[in-house]
Chains A and B, each alone.
Chain A
Amino acid sequence: MSFIRAAIKEVVGLFVSDWVQSGVIVAIVAVGWIAVARFGAAAAILLVVLLAAQLVWFAQADGRRAKAKT
């Protein structure tokens, strides 16, 4: 049982290292989906901008945390 739990943890770990960041990415995809359905293909630009922005935001937050530790 513990082996299966460890295997599932490893597989999930391929996609998730920070649950908050992963939740934000999935939320952005959901927002993008709604936006594309309502406003058409041009809304995909919103998806790209939000995804790029979250990359900068979370990297900065992690960087700040790491520097505060040292």
Chain B
Amino acid sequence: MGQAVFVFSAAFLGSAVEATEALTIVLAVGLTRGWRAPLLGTVGAVVSLAVLVLIFGQLIVTQVPEWALKLLVGTLLLLFGLRWLHKAVLRSAGVEAKHDEERAYANTVAQLRSEAKQPTDWVGFVLALKGVFLEGLEVVFIVIGVGGTGRGLPVAVAGGVLAAAVVAAVGVVVRRPLARVPENTLKYGVGVILTSLGTFWAAEGMGARWPGDFVSIGALVIVYFVASRLAVTLIRRPAFA
């Protein structure tokens, strides 16, 4: 039960962050140039992602041995999670600007206004397709990485789909970027969780067995959180330069 809650929460939070970023792009296109092109682009991206997942999901699950899958997914999760965590540390320490949905929205709108509108709005279509596809790719990877190598895939998929549905529903109601979603804090937390899961899966793929099985992820979360706070503290030191 604890494992299912952990997998669901990780998939939900990670997917919510990415869905929020995708929503900003679709809203910027829709409110500036009309809804037809961005909605078609969104549908195109979702269908492309579904096809990719069906093809590669089947191929990976049926062709790759479990230990190799754990090692591969674990290593990719480590690279993905540590990239998020590294950025979160720099943002927490104040040396990198925090992600701002209002600013991302304004930049996209400015870019769209400079493009002339034609009867078929290819610019709006491609921008929405690319934005949703790339953010969706991260959602797919988070869901597969969190739940794919264990028995938690249905729970992880539920977390990812629910996050996308909640963000889309809120976006339809408020019709503006979700600037109040604490994206930077969420990315910090999810970065710690994904890095911990990556370590867990990679070591299992190497043949190691963790004491207490899934419970040991709690200890990994503490280790990476402490390391990240240490990095923030060291960077913030006045003598640091």
Mark A residues whose CB is within 8 Å of B.
Answer: 10-11, 14-18, 21-22, 25-26, 29, 32-33, 36-37, 40-41, 43-44, 47-48, 51-53, 55-56, 58-60, 62-64, 66-68
In whole angstroms, how far apart are the Cα atoms of A15 and B137 in the complex?
12
Q: How far is the CB of A50 from chain B (nearest CB, A)?
A: 10
Chain A residue numbers with a CB within 8 Å of B24 are none
Mostly, the B contact residues are helix
Chain B residue numbers with a CB within 8 Å of A56 are 227, 230-231, 234
Inter-chain contact A55/B231, CB cutoff 8 Å: yes
Inter-chain contact A16/B208, CB cutoff 8 Å: no
Inter-chain contact A25/B202, CB cutoff 8 Å: no
Q: How far is the CB of A62 from chain B (nearest CB, A)?
A: 6
Inter-chain contact A37/B207, CB cutoff 8 Å: yes
Q: Does B95 contact A (CB under 8 A)?
A: yes
Inter-chain contact A25/B82, CB cutoff 8 Å: yes
Q: Does B80 contact A (CB under 8 A)?
A: yes
Could you pull out 21 A-B pairs where Cβ atoms are within 8 angstroms?
A: A17-B86, A18-B86, A22-B79, A29-B74, A29-B202, A36-B203, A37-B207, A41-B207, A41-B208, A41-B209, A43-B208, A44-B199, A48-B223, A55-B86, A55-B231, A58-B86, A59-B86, A59-B231, A63-B235, A67-B95, A67-B235
CB-CB under 8 A for A29 and B78, given A48-B223, A59-B90, A64-B241: yes
In whole angstroms, how far apart are the Cα atoms of A28 and B105 in the complex?
39
In whole angstroms, how far apart are the Cα atoms of A16 and B78 in the complex?
11
CB-CB under 8 A for A59 and B235, given A15-B76, A15-B79: yes
Within 8 A of A (CB), among B74-124: 74-76, 78-80, 82-83, 85-87, 89-90, 93, 95-96
Inter-chain contact B199/A48, CB cutoff 8 Å: yes
Q: Which residue of A lies closest to B90 (CB)?
A: A62
In whole angstroms, how far apart are the Cα atoms of A11 and B241 in the complex?
33
Q: Does B165 contact A (CB under 8 A)?
A: no
Q: Which residue of A lies closest to B228 (CB)?
A: A55
Inter-chain contact B95/A66, CB cutoff 8 Å: yes
Q: How far is the CB of A9 from chain B (nearest CB, A)?
A: 11
Inter-chain contact A60/B203, CB cutoff 8 Å: no
Inter-chain contact A44/B203, CB cutoff 8 Å: yes
Interface mask (B43-78 → A, CB under 8 Å = 1, otherwise 0): 000000000000000000000000000010011101
Q: Which residue of A lies closest to B89 (CB)?
A: A59
In whole angstroms, how far apart are the Cα atoms of A41 and B141 in the complex?
27
Interface mask (B123-134 → A, CB under 8 Å = 1, otherwise 0): 000000000001
